[in-house]
Structure 1
Amino acid sequence: MSTKGHPVRTERIVPDIEQLPRPVYARNESVARDSQTVWHQHDWVQVSYVIHGMLTVYTEHSSYVAPPMWAVWIPKGVRHQVVTSDRVEMRGLYIESGQVHPLEQDNECRVLEITPLLRELICSFCTLPVMYDPASEDGRLVQVMLDQLKVARPVSLSLPMPTDPRLIRLCHELQLHPDDKRTLVVWGNLLGASEKTLTRLFLKQTGLSFRRWRQRLRLFSALRRLEQGEKVTQVALACGYDSTSSFIAAFKIQFGITPSEVF
C-alpha cells in the first residue's frame, strides 16, 4: 500500500503494434498483482476480459467494471486506462473496425455480458496462432465469436463522472469512503453550493441523481471487495448499507445476480 492507503500498482506494458496481423488479434496476460496501463488509445476496437479477477476501464468521462461474467468494449480512438485487481488472468481482443458493425455505431464504451459460449470461444481463440488462416476452421471460429459479440447483452456497469470541480471533489471523497452517508445539504455547506445546485449539476453532468450515483459507486466498490474474498455482511457495512438484506436486494437489482454468484 502507498502512504495514502492506495494500492501500489505495477505498470502493464501496452504493446507497440502499428497494424494488426489479422482482423482479430488476441492477447493473453497473467498479472500477479494490482496493475495499470498508461493512458492510451488504439486504432482498433478492444475487448478487455478477465477469466479470473476483475478489471476497471477508465475513460476521460466515466469508468467501467467487469468481473469474469462481463467484458468491457472500448471503441477505436477512445483514450483509456485499464486497471486490474490482484491475480488476474486476462484474455483481450483487438478487432479491426468494421468487423462488428452493430457495436460500432457510437463511440461509447460499454460492458457486455459474456455467456458461457462466448467465454469458451474467446478462450479457444486465444490459443490459436497469431497468423491463423482466416479460410480455415480457425477462421470460422473467429466468425462465430464475432457473431456472439454482436448479440452480447449490454450491462449497466458504467459510472459517469461529473466535470464541476465541486462535484469532482465530492465524488473522489466518496470513492475513498463509499460508506460516507453525508447528504447533499451537508456537502453543499462544505463545497459552498446549495443542495439545489448540486442536485441539478449531478443530473446534468452524469445523467444520474446523486442518490443513484452513490448507490452505483457503492455497488462497484462492493464488487472489488467481493473479488478479494470478503464476506457479504462485511462488504455491505463497508459500502454504507445498514443491513445485509438491503445490500443484496440493491445488488441484484443492479447486476441481476446476488453477491454470492459473482465470483
Structure 2
Amino acid sequence: MPRLGPLSLALRGRDPDTDVRPVAALHLALDERDVEQPVHFHRKGQLVLALHGGVTCEVPKAMWMVPPHHAVWIPGGVPHSNRATSNAEIYFLFVEPGAADMPTACCTLAISPLVRELIKHLAVLGQDYPDDGPTARLVAVLLEHLVAAPVEQLHLPVSGHPKLRRIADALAQDPADRRTLADWASRLAVSERTLARLVLRETGLSFGRWRQQFHLIVALRQLSEGASVQQVAGSLGYESVTAFITMFRKALGEPPARYFSKLR
C-alpha cells in the first residue's frame, strides 16, 4: 500500500511524516478535472479542508463528503482515498500524534473562519518554522480551536459485503435508482427480512435511511460543484424539488440554499 498519494504530497514532493513539528499545512488548487487519490495512509493525522468544490474521502466501512468550509479528520494510520471535484481548492493539515486531543475516529468537522485562516496562513509559511516564536504560538492557537470544532454527521457507512457492494455500486452508477428493499432482495436471491437485517448489521441504518444518507452525500457533492437544486433533485430521482428540499432540511436542519449560503 503506498503511503502517500498524488492528490496531496506526491505533487508537492514533501512528506510531513518525516517532520515532528506539531502541524504541517499544504495547499492544493485543482484544474477543471476531477482528481482521485488511491488508498494510502500517513503517520500523522490528516485534516482535509475544502474551500471551494468538494472532496469525498473513503475509509474502511465509511465514506465522508467534505462540503466547502468543512473538513474531514482522518487519524494517523487509517487507510483512505480521496476524490476531489473539478476546480476544487483544498488544504491539508497534518497533525503530529499527541500534539492535540483530536478524535480517534474519522469525522466531519465544521471549520470556523479563524481556523480556516490560520490553516491558510500556515500553508503559505511552509513546514520549516521554529519550535518557538510567533508561528509556534499560532500553531498552539490553531490546535486549541481545532479540538473544539463541532462534529457533523456527513458520512455514509459502507460495507465490503458482496451483496451490499452490488447495491452501492448500482446506486453510484444511477443515484436515481428507486428499487425497493423487496426489489433488491429478489434480485440478490435472499428474503427481504434477511436483506434488511444485513443492511442494518453492516451499516447501522435501515435500507431507506441508508439510501437517504447516500442521496445526501451525492447532493452535497453536486451542489458544491455548482449544480442547481432542481438539477440535483432530478438526478436523485425525487418526484419534486420540494420533496428533495424536505429531505435535505430534515438531514441538515436547513434547505440547500441557506445551508450553502452560511458556509460561504
- The equivalent of 1:223 in structure 2 is 220
Task: Indicate how the Cα distance of structure 1 residues 144 and 29 shifts in structure 2: closer, same or farther if over 3 A, else same.
Answer: same
Structure 1's consecutive aligned runs of 4 or more residues displaced over 4 angstroms after TM superposition are none
Deviates more, 1:167-176 or 1:197-206: 167-176
Aligned-partner residue type, residue 156 of structure 1: Q
Cα distance in 1 between the residues matched to 2:63 and 2:217: 10
- The equivalent of 2:143 in structure 1 is 146
Question: 1:113 Cα shift?
Answer: 0.5
Q: Check whether the contact 2:57–2:81 (CA below 8 A) recurs between aligned residues.
A: yes
Cα distance in 1 between the residues matched to 2:137 and 2:188: 57
Cα distance in 2 between the residues matched to 1:249 and 1:141: 42
Cα distance in 2 between the residues matched to 1:117 and 1:170: 41
Deviates more, 1:228-237 or 1:199-208: 228-237
Q: Deviations over 1:165-186 (max 9, x none)?
A: 1111011101221111111111
Q: Check whether the contact 1:12–1:36 (CA below 8 A) recurs between aligned residues.
A: yes
Task: Confirm whether residue 162 of structure 1 aligns to residue 148 of structure 2.
Answer: no
Q: Deviations over 1:58-101 (max 9, x none)?
A: 11211100011210000010001111000011111111001121
- The equivalent of 2:30 in structure 1 is 31
Cα distance in 1 between the residues matched to 2:251 and 2:122: 31
**Identity across matched positions, percent:** 37
Unaligned runs of 5+ in 1: 1-9
Cα distance in 1 between the residues matched to 2:69 and 2:253: 12
Task: Indicate how the Cα distance of structure 1 residues 232 and 13 shifts in structure 2: closer, same or farther if over 3 A, else same.
Answer: closer
Q: Deviations over 1:219-240 (max 9, x none)?
A: 1111222123222112112112
* TM-score for the superposition, normalised by structure 1: 0.90
Question: 1:21 Cα shift?
Answer: 5.3
Task: Confirm whether residue 193 of structure 1 aligns to residue 190 of structure 2.
Answer: yes
Q: Check whether the contact 1:53–1:86 (CA below 8 A) recurs between aligned residues.
A: yes
- The equivalent of 1:96 in structure 2 is 96
Aligned-partner residue type, residue 23 of structure 1: P
Task: Confirm whether residue 205 of structure 1 aligns to residue 190 of structure 2.
Answer: no
Cα distance in 2 between the residues matched to 1:13 and 1:142: 21
Q: Check whether the contact 2:45–2:75 (CA below 8 A) recurs between aligned residues.
A: yes
Question: 1:195 Cα shift?
Answer: 0.7
Question: 1:13 Cα shift?
Answer: 5.6
Deviates more, 1:199-208 or 1:241-250: 241-250
Q: Check whether the contact 1:11–1:35 (CA below 8 A) recurs between aligned residues.
A: no
- The equivalent of 1:22 in structure 2 is 21
- The equivalent of 1:58 in structure 2 is 58
Task: Confirm whether residue 242 of structure 1 aligns to residue 262 of structure 2.
Answer: no
- The equivalent of 2:115 in structure 1 is 118
Corresponding residue SS for 2:73: strand
Corresponding residue SS for 2:64: strand
- The equivalent of 1:72 in structure 2 is 72
Corresponding residue SS for 1:216: helix
Question: 1:216 Cα shift?
Answer: 0.8
Aligned-partner residue type, residue 92 of structure 1: F
Question: 1:41 Cα shift?
Answer: 0.6
Q: Check whether the contact 2:25–2:127 (CA below 8 A) recurs between aligned residues.
A: yes
Cα distance in 2 between the residues matched to 1:67 and 1:225: 10
Task: Confirm whether residue 12 of structure 1 aligns to residue 11 of structure 2.
Answer: no
Q: Deviations over 1:165-213 (max 9, x none)?
A: 1111011101221111111111111110111011001011101111011
Question: 1:14 Cα shift?
Answer: 3.5
More relative contact order, 1 or 2 (CA 8 Å, 6+ apart):
2
- The equivalent of 2:175 in structure 1 is 178
* Matching residue within 127, 130, 143 for 2:127: 130
Cα distance in 2 between the residues matched to 1:187 and 1:171: 11
Corresponding residue SS for 2:157: coil
Corresponding residue SS for 2:155: coil
Cα distance in 2 between the residues matched to 1:245 and 1:208: 24
Deviates more, 1:190-199 or 1:17-26: 17-26
The size of the alignment, in residue pairs, is 251
Unaligned runs of 5+ in 2: none
